[in-house]
Structure 1
Amino acid sequence: MPEHIPQEPGEFAGRTALVTGAGQGIGAAVAIALAARGAHVVATDRDAHGIDELAAAHRGAITPRVMDVTNPLAVTAVVDDVVREHGSLDLLVNVAGILRAAPVAELTDADWADTFAVNTTGVFHTSRAAAAHMTARGSGCIVTVASNAAGIPRTGMAAYAASKAAATMFTKCLGLEIARTGVRCNVVAPGSTDTAMQRSLWTDDEAPRRVIAGDPETYRTGIPLGRIADPQDIAEAVVFLASDRARHITLQELYVDGGATLR
């Protein structure tokens, strides 16, 4: 008989997860989903407010830690502290991200640099620090939340799309390098999701309808499933890839976009 692979609510019991960008949106949903399945979650964000509220609502299961992913020394210190305090770091979920939407002609140097500092270099900092511990133990899982914009051109989103494409390929290259140690690295690529970042792009009450329908003027495809994702939809994909149910999956990119990229 094949060995049992746990799928119960406690499937992450005894494991420690670090989630970046956990103060709101997808990051918060991921932290809650992992905690609900038994993981102890270290929820990080550069702003304490959201992660403190999250920890208060899930006492004992979620620990807040202020961390700026653009600061390599701070990242290494937090990861080392997590390992020292909890004995291991089993899961890393890279969610922290920013969006500076503008046509390329209007993008500033600061817009470009800031976007890559968080969305790409931040993933490098956290993954490098986590992988050092995981490979030494011979187990672990890294999931990077990128974007379907990394796989389809989008007007007004060149910096964001490029940064997410870079983070995607970085995660796959890392996964290839460390696969033989037993550490898995995968990517979840959300489409339009009901978060503060998404709502910052909306200018009126008709914006959600336009997102679903698509916009030929900007070459934007619609969403075949006819709905904008909830953060929980993305979190469930992350949880699956982080679980033992996905133990033979690495170097993969899972699109969770309602069919928007027609893949």
Structure 2
Amino acid sequence: MTTRQDDPGPVALVTGAAGGIGGAVVRELVARGARVVAADAGRTAGRELAGSFAVDVQDAAGVEAMVGEIEERIGPVGILVNVAGVLRAGPLLTMAEDDWAAMLGVNVTGVLTVSRAVARRMVGRGSGSIVTVASNAGSVPRVGLGGYAASKAASVMLTKCLGLELAGHGIRCNVVSPGSTDTSMLRSLWPDADGERATLRGAPEHYRVGIPLQKIARPEDVAAAVAFLASDAAGHITMHDLCVDGGASLGA
């Protein structure tokens, strides 16, 4: 995004704003001059925020009320970043129904619910940018992450299809797919202190390559990619999936 000194900056709504990547996206957009509204299951604090909401992204009525209040009190939402997500690891054959439902609910239905509430208003203005944070697991099969991978693959295609439907209204919809990123979600998958080294070198027994760049991504690395796709610098980019994984998916 670009702002003049006398321009208050676009209103940007970020879901999952209390998490590692979500928090980094908030900071990056604020630094670039946006008026950022943070949404999460629990209210997010921060003096730099234009607003903060506690909301379940699956709750259509709650989301609609939130977006309506943002537009009335702060301004029209020009940027939406869908970061809210949950991960439940485990084999598909034994995965609990509740875990499957939670991932589809937040990672897919949540993206649709928030995107629709915002996009319906963007259509009338003829502009807007939506970025969904997915995962490289959405394009590369992973042992023990089948439910998560399926939900992220669905969120990618949902966002691309939305981008196709909205392109004629001047609204761009893109995806950022991170790989292993230094967040509490990643660390929850590490069984011991050797987790980082194991992630870097890969796990041949699980058909998973390591990270060619030999480093774990920082949340800020992902946030920079999000901010680019949301900005005017990416004004002719839509329905794109930008992978930020240090080469872990080998360009797949």
- Residue identity matched to 2:42: D
Partner of 1:257: 245
**1:181-200 alignment, distance < 5 Å:** 181-200=169-188
Partner of 2:135: 147
Partner of 1:66: 54
Q: Note the C-alpha offset of 1:205.
A: 1.2
SS in 1 for 2:12: strand
Matched, 1:24 2:12: no
Contact 1:10–1:38 (Cα < 8 Å) also in 2: no
Matched, 1:113 2:101: yes
Partner of 2:31: 36
- Residue identity matched to 2:39: T
Partner of 1:224: 212
Q: Tell me, in whole angstroms, the C-alpha distance in 1 between the residues paired with 2:6 and 2:243.
A: 24
Contact 2:133–2:176 (Cα < 8 Å) also in 1: yes
Q: Note the C-alpha offset of 1:70.
A: 1.2
Partner of 1:207: 195
Provide the identity percentage: 53
Q: Tell me, in whole angstroms, the C-alpha distance in 2 between the residues paired with 1:170 and 1:152.
A: 17
Contact 2:42–2:53 (Cα < 8 Å) also in 1: no
Q: Tell me, in whole angstroms, the C-alpha distance in 1 between the residues paired with 2:126 and 2:160.
A: 18
**Which segments of 5 or more consecutive residues in structure 1 lack a partner in the other structure?**
none
Matched, 1:78 2:73: no
Q: Tell me, in whole angstroms, the C-alpha distance in 2 between the residues paired with 1:37 and 1:9.
A: 11
SS in 2 for 1:117: helix
Contact 2:41–2:54 (Cα < 8 Å) also in 1: yes
Q: Note the C-alpha offset of 1:24.
A: 1.9
Which portions of structure 1, spanning 4 or more consecutive aligned residues, are displaced by more than 4 angstroms?
8-13
**TM-score, with structure 1 as normaliser:** 0.92
Q: Paired residues, what number?
A: 251
Q: Tell me, in whole angstroms, the C-alpha distance in 1 between the residues paired with 2:32 and 2:150.
A: 34
Q: Tell me, in whole angstroms, the C-alpha distance in 2 between the residues paired with 1:75 and 1:247.
A: 27
**TM-score, with structure 2 as normaliser:** 0.96
Q: Tell me, in whole angstroms, the C-alpha distance in 1 between the residues paired with 2:7 and 2:89.
A: 37
RMSD value over aligned CA atoms? 1.6
Q: Tell me, in whole angstroms, the C-alpha distance in 1 between the residues paired with 2:6 and 2:227.
A: 10
Are the structure 2 counterparts of residues 77 and 9 from structure 1 closer, same or farther at C-alpha, using a change threshold of 3 Å? same
Contact 1:31–1:62 (Cα < 8 Å) also in 2: no
- Residue identity matched to 2:30: A
